[in-house]
Amino acid sequence: MTQPMIRFDKVLKAYGSLQVLKDLDFSVDKGEVVSIIGPSGSGKTTVLRVLMTLEGIQDGTIYVNEDPLNRMLVDGQLMDASRAHIRRIRSKIGMVFQSFNLFPHMTALQNCIESPIYTQGKSKSEATDEAMRLLNMVGLADKANHYPSQLSGGQQQRVAIARTLAMHPEVLLFDEPTSALDPEMVGEVLEVIRDLAESGNYTMLLVTHQMGFAREVSDRVCFFDGGRMVEQGKPDDLFGNPQNARLKQFLSKVLEAG
Amino acid sequence: MDWDWTFTFDVVLPKMWAAAGVTVWATVASFALALVGGLILMLLKTHRSAWVSRPATELIEVIRATPLLVQIFFLFFLLPEIGITLPPLTTGILAIGLYNSALCAEVYRAGFQAVPRGQWEACIALNMSTYRTYRDVIIPQSLPPIIPALGNYLVAIFKETPLLSFVAVAEIMQVSKLIGAEYYRFTEAITIAGLFFLIMSLIAALLIRIVENYVKRSILH
C-alpha cells in the first residue's frame, strides 16, 4: 500500500461556533487525483485552505507525506509547528485560486520567477528558462511580457498555473479554478489541468463545480456536506450510483442546472 | 498699516533666509523619520506576537492622544534628566518625527489592508518570506493610495514646525518673532513667514501630485 501524501486526522476547523470541518479524516495517495464536490458551505474549499496554511485549524493534525504540517516533533512530542517548519512542509504544496491572484504589477514572466528566485534561491537566468518552459507549456510563451490586466481570464489562470508549477510542488490544489471564468475560457484552463492530471507527476486535489470534468480526470471523487465527507468513490460509481440521499439530491440539482 | 520695503529687504529677508533653511530641514528630517518610524510601528503593531503588538499599539495611542507641543516639551526637558542632551533642533525633529510616525502607521496599515486578501494568500501559497511579501507584492500595490495620504503629512509636518519656536529653535517663526521684538515691527516678518508657508505648501502639494501620478503610471498598468 502506498503511503498517503495528504492525511487529515480528526481535523476540526471552526469559525467561532460554526464548525466548517468536523473531525475530518481524509487522505490522498501519492499521485492520486481527487475531486471534491459539494454544496457551498460544505467545507470543500476549507480543506484546501487549511492544507495551504491560509487558515489554521483548531484540532487534529494534517500530515503531508506523513510529516505533520501544523505540528512538529520536539523531543518526541507533537508541538505547535514553528514558521520554519511550516514553510518547509508548505514548499511541497502549490495552490491555484479561483480568482487567479496574479501580482498585477508584474508581467506574466515576473510572476513566475519571483518566488523561485527569492524563496528557492535560483539564479535569474535559471528561473527565467524554467518559467518560459512552463509558460510555453500552458501556451502563453508569447504573453510572457504582458501584465495580468492585458490578459484574458483564461490566460491569467494559465499563468497562475505556470507560476505554481515553477515552485516544483508535489501536491497541487485547485480551488474552483474555472468558476471566475467566462464560459468560453473554461476549456483552455481545464485542458491544462487535464494534462497535469494525466502526467501522473502530481498529487492533485480539485474543488470544482465542473462535474463532467471531475468525472473524467479524477481517480476518486469525494462528496462533502456540512463539514464532513459523506461519500467517496470512483467517479463512475459516485456519479452513476450515488448512495447518500444528500448526494443524490445535490447531483440532481447540479445536473439539472447544467 | 504701513509696510517698509527697505526694512523688508535689508533686515527681514536676510535673517529669514537662513531661518527658512532650518524650517525646511526640520520638515524633511521629521518627515523622513515619520516615514520609516511609521512603517516600523505598523509592522510592530500587526506583529503575530501580542508581546510585540500590544506595546506598539499602546505607544501609538499615547502619541496620538497627546498634543505635539506637550511631546516637544516633554522630550526637550526630560531627555536631559536621563542624561541625553541633544540640540533643540534635533529634539524637535525627534518629537515631530515620532508624533507623525504614529499617524503614518495608520496610513500604512490602511494602505496594506487595501491590498486584496488574495495577494497575501498568493504569497503564502508561493511560500514567500514576510520580507519579500511586503517588499515585492504588498508595498508596491499599496503605494498609490498611501502616497497622497503621506503627502498630506508632509504638508502637515511643515506647518507644525513653528511649534519648535517654543524651544527656541531658530526656524522661521522664531526668527520673525525675534525680528519683531528687536525692531518693534511685526508686520513685515510675520507676513513673510506666512507667505513662505503658503508658497512652500503649494509647491509641496504640486510635487506630491507629480509623484503620485508617476507611481500610478509605473505600478499600475
Segment A154-209, tens digit of pLDDT? 999 999 999 999 999 999 999 999 999 999 999 999 999 999 999 999 999 999 99
For residue A142, pLDDT beyond 90: yes
- Cross-chain Cβ contact B129/A118 below 8 Å: yes
Which of A102, A119, A147 is closest, CB to CB, to B127?
A: A119
Question: Which residues of B lie inside 8 Å of A (Cβ-Cβ)?
Answer: 116, 118-119, 121-122, 124-129, 132, 136-137, 140-141, 219-221
- Cross-chain Cβ contact B132/A101 below 8 Å: no
* Rounded Cα distance, A221 and A236, in Å: 9
Q: B16-50 as b/e, with b when 16 or more CB fall inside 10 Å?
A: beebbebbbebbebbbebbbebbbebbbbbbeeee
3 state DSSP class of A152: coil
* Rounded Cα distance, A215 and A74, in Å: 42
Q: Can you say how many angstroms the Cα of residue B128 is from the centroid of all Cα atoms in its chain?
A: 32
Which of B121, B126, B220 is closest, CB to CB, to A167?
A: B126
Task: Count CA within 13 A, CB hemisphere, residue B107.
Answer: 23
Angle at A249 between CA A243 and CA A251, to 5 degrees: 85
User: What's at B179, amino acid-wise?
Assistant: I
* Rounded Cα distance, A225 and A231, in Å: 9
Spans of chain B below 50 pLDDT: none
* Rounded Cα distance, B199 and B186, in Å: 20
Which of A97, A115, A150 is closest, CB to CB, to B121?
A: A97
* Dihedrals phi, psi of A224, to nearest 5 degrees: -105, 140
As a whole number, the mean pLDDT across chain A is 93
Residue B221: per-residue pLDDT: 60
Contacts of A60 (CB under 8 A, 6+ apart): A8, A9, A10, A11, A12, A23, A24
For residue A223, pLDDT beyond 80: yes
CA–CA min distance B41, chain A (Å): 22
Q: Does the structure's ipTM exceed the value 0.90? A: yes
Mean pLDDT of A216-238: 95
Residue A82: per-residue pLDDT: 86
Strands A171-175 and A203-207: parallel
Burial of A209 (0-12, 13-18, 19+ CB in 10 A): middle
Residue A31: per-residue pLDDT: 94
For residue A237, pLDDT beyond 80: yes
Mean pLDDT of A92-107: 96
- Cross-chain Cβ contact A52/B141 below 8 Å: no
- Predicted confidence band at A76 (pLDDT cuts at 50, 70, 90)? confident
Which of B116, B124, B136 is closest, CB to CB, to A52?
A: B124
Strands A220-225 and A33-37: parallel
3 state DSSP class of A37: strand
